[in-house]
Amino acid sequence: MNQLKKLLIIGFVWPEPKSSAAGERMMQLISIFKENGFEITFASAAQDSDFMIDLAEFGVIKRSIELNSSSFDDFIAVLNPDVVLFDRFMIEEQFGWRIIENCPKAIRILDTEDLHCLRTARQKAFKENRTFELIDLLSEEVAKREIASILRCDLSLIISEFEMNILEDVFKINKELLFYLPFLVDKMNEEELLKLPSFEDRKNFIFIGNFLHEPNWNTVQHLKESIWPSLKKNFPEAILEVYGAYPSQKVLQLHQPKNGFFIMGRAEDANEIVKKARIVLAPIRFGAGLKGKLLEAMQCGTPSITTSIGSEAMHLDLPWNGCIEDNPEVFAKKAIELYQDENLWKEAQKNGVEIINKCYQKQDYSDKLISFTNSLLIDSGSHRLHNFMGNLLQHHAFKSTMYMSKWIEAKNK
């Protein structure tokens, strides 16, 4: 009988699929590897949370680890994983050199979640009231760290085709080091829309998003200050419900029931809430990756209105599941039209089904990922030999990372 291949996932946090798209993404990855015969251990130095998923229910072994501690070396020497998946580049920086030192044959995969340097550069341009340009990325400090991490790994999972193009064209990354892996969901047909709440049975606008994520807080500010006044003036009975995990005090202070603006806090079941809403509003002004809230809206048959940043790389050239609009006044006008026009609303619903089926089908990507991983397991030598820049970065950068970590460990003792 063949021995199960071992996958070690080192998490930035413990997965919370009901709190964030990142948590949902991680559970999709776990599902792919589990279905293909991998024994999975999920390790993290993060504190447990009240909302983390019970990994044991999915047949995943949970292990707590420490930062800057040689106890991790002992842990992985015993585990001896075949594949290690780093959850974001900061985790690869912290633990990558230890993997190389103790398990040099293990295949190293980085899940970028989204390009942090893109999100950071866009946020900086927004706050400085200037237009973001791709050349801005080349001077971004976090880009140097993130790209170095991508080069050091055998494979990096990229969630957005726009970001794939940036990595290949702006940063000149060899495409053999990159694998496009969007969100993955089940196929949907138009008959399933009939099982969802109808146009008449839905009410209110909603926004939903984890408030630990800066673009979500900025979006709610934008809604309150620039869009809702116009929308409410022209549609007095309008109500907006804002849901999201980890709302800060400044988020809660936006609660204004007299103006139809409700801060609802954490959604116990986001899926059910989105299904009951008539429209999702997401005027996102900066960010990166794919927007899980907008894909979830499509799955729930709920049209959405978003910006060009919000819809980026999410729909190929297919008609959007509602409207894409950057101008706040026009955004408000389109929101009212879509809310009131049943035919327009149903057409938007159908557009969402087409986007799901053409852009996010699990079977289109999962088999390729496993095939690529298995080919690396069979012959990583040639793949690594041709990644000269990655080898160079390992040789130099990891020495400084290693000595810094060991210095911190000695200081802590």
Q: CB of 25 within 8 A of CB of 113?
A: yes
Do 259 and 122 share a domain, yes or no?
Answer: no
Pairwise CA distance, residues 290 & 158, whole Å: 10
Give tens-digit pLDDT for 204-217. Answer: 999 999 998 999 99
Q: At residue 413, does pLDDT exceed 90? A: no
Do 354 and 372 share a domain, yes or no?
Answer: no
Q: Count other C-beta atoms under 10 Å from residue 342's C-beta.
A: 11
Do 347 and 258 share a domain, yes or no?
Answer: yes
Mean pLDDT of 6-12: 98
- Map tokens 């912290």 to a residue: 94
Do 317 and 343 share a domain, yes or no?
Answer: yes
Do 28 and 173 share a domain, yes or no?
Answer: yes
Give Cβ neighbours of residue 328 (< 8 Å, ≥ 6 apart): 222, 226, 227, 230, 283
Pairwise CA distance, residues 28 & 255, whole Å: 34
Domain total for the chain? Answer: 2
Do 39 and 165 share a domain, yes or no?
Answer: yes
Q: At residue 162, does pLDDT exceed 90? A: yes
Q: What is the mean pLDDT of the chain?
A: 94
Q: Count other C-beta atoms under 10 Å from residue 337's C-beta.
A: 14
Judge residue 69's burial from the number of C-beta atoms within 10 Å of its C-beta, 0-12 exposed, 13-18 middle, 19 or more buried. Answer: middle
Do 39 and 157 share a domain, yes or no?
Answer: yes
Domain that includes residue 25, residue range: 5-184+362-412
Do 34 and 101 share a domain, yes or no?
Answer: yes
Q: What share of the chain is helix, strand, coil (3-state, %, to 5)?
A: 50, 15, 35
Q: Which is nearest to 334 in space by CA: 288, 282, 272, 262?
A: 282
Do 261 and 332 share a domain, yes or no?
Answer: yes
Given strand 240-243, what is the order of strands in its sheet? 261-265, 240-243, 205-208, 279-282, 304-306, 322-324
Do 352 and 366 share a domain, yes or no?
Answer: no
Mean pLDDT of 172-198: 94
| Model pLDDT, residue 393 | 81
| Model pLDDT, residue 3 | 73
Do 130 and 155 share a domain, yes or no?
Answer: yes
Q: At residue 1, does pLDDT exceed 60? A: no
Give tens-digit pLDDT for 130-148. Answer: 999 999 999 999 999 999 9
Which of 359, 381, 397 marks a domain boundary?
Answer: 359
CATH number, residue 343:
3.40.50.2000
Give tens-digit pLDDT for 241-272. Answer: 999 999 999 999 999 999 999 999 999 899 99
Higher-confidence residue of 58 and 402: namely: 58
Give tens-digit pLDDT for 317-342. Answer: 999 999 999 999 999 999 999 999 99
Q: Count other C-beta atoms under 10 Å from residue 201's C-beta.
A: 10
Give Cβ neighbours of residue 216 (< 8 Å, ≥ 6 apart): 209, 210, 244
Do 126 and 200 share a domain, yes or no?
Answer: no
Instruction: Kindly report which listed range (123-132, 137-146, 283-292, 398-407) carries the lowest average pLDDT score.
Output: 398-407
